[in-house]
Amino acid sequence: MRSRRHPIPPSTRFGNLTTTGVYFSGTPRPHKRPGRYECICDCGAIITISYSGLHARSPVCKCRKMLTKPAERIPPGTRFGKLVTTGRYFPSHTQPPRRQPSWECRCDCGNVLLVQTALLTRDPPQQACYKCANIGHTKADRVRTLIPEYHPWATMVQRCTNPKDPAYQYYGGRGIQIHPSWRSFDQFYADMAPRPSPKHSLDRYPDKNGNYEPGNVRWATMKEQGFNRRSNRRVTFNGIERCVTEWAEEVGIKRGTLYGRLNAGMSAEEALTTPINKSKSRQRISESGATSIHVSISSPKCAAKTTP
């Protein structure tokens, strides 16, 4: 329907918008809404906009607002590996639900695809279509990711070689390296398989500051890895070095008691071999109980209460 009050012929240009000639009439009072014109933006989006919106200073659709970010201004002909941008931009409101703003790209193999802006502006960017990116990856490579030992191996490689990994500062940043033969998952699998359970992960043992190499890596639970932390207090007894908590569990002494003995200046042998004198502890309890009874009896208020 064409507006009688503000007739605008089709194919009229308003900035990036071109009218199609379709008019949607407004609604009367009390819910008065102005009529709207259907327009096509240069980005390909079809929108409806009011007469005042068309005659604004710069009538545009949402694509212009999204293109204000510097990271989203990608000129046509920009090459990302095998991908070359064509200059066509598709904002999020023209995409399916939960789809991010995308650019149309042409791969060297001839495929035309939409690549999200975030994938083109990241470091490193996407450099090929999915068909070209999977060339050389066999079915065995995809099945390998389902093996239980693959994820621990992949995370080990990331935290030791990728500076962007959150844990890199504790591993690769400290100089911890991976044995050259373990850069291949097949060799790692031959040396470390099988993984005992999903609760087991890789632990550097006996040298917790050493590299990931054969002879210095084991499968350990979270409890075993807790015993092997760098921040633990280590105690050597009979040529065996363990943390205080592990010694406390083995000799049957409370961890607090063992820490108290060591902090009091006792040697490791004395702290671990001296038995706990339970009779003295019982005597202390009985003495404290007798003292409390004596105090309660000597108190005049309590004596008055106990008088029949």
pLDDT at 155 over 90: yes
pLDDT digits (tens, 9 = 90+) for 266-276: 888 888 888 87
Q: How confident is the prediction for the chain on average, in pLDDT? A: 77
Q: DSSP string covering 47-81, please? A: EEEEHHHHTSSS---HHHHHTTSGGG---TT-EET
Domain assignment of residue 102, yes or no: yes
6: in domain: no
pLDDT at 72 over 60: no
> What is the percent of the chain with per-residue pLDDT over 70, rounded to a whole number?
71
Query: Mean pLDDT, to the nearest integer, of 161-184?
Result: 92
The more confident residue out of 298 and 157 is: 157
Point out the domain boundary residue: 133, 159, 175. Answer: 133
Residues 158 and 208 in one domain: yes
- The torsion of the CA quartet 181, 185, 187, 192, rounded to 10 degrees, works out to 110
Domain that holds residue 43: 13-60
Residue 215 has a pLDDT of 93
More confident residue, 146 or 33: 146
Domain count, the chain: 4
Does residue 130 or residue 63 have the better pLDDT?
Answer: 130
User: Is the residue at 65 inside a domain?
Assistant: no
pLDDT tens across 200-248, in order?
999 998 898 999 999 999 999 998 888 888 888 888 888 888 888 888 8
Q: What's residue 296's pLDDT?
A: 38
Do both 149 and 212 map to the same domain? yes
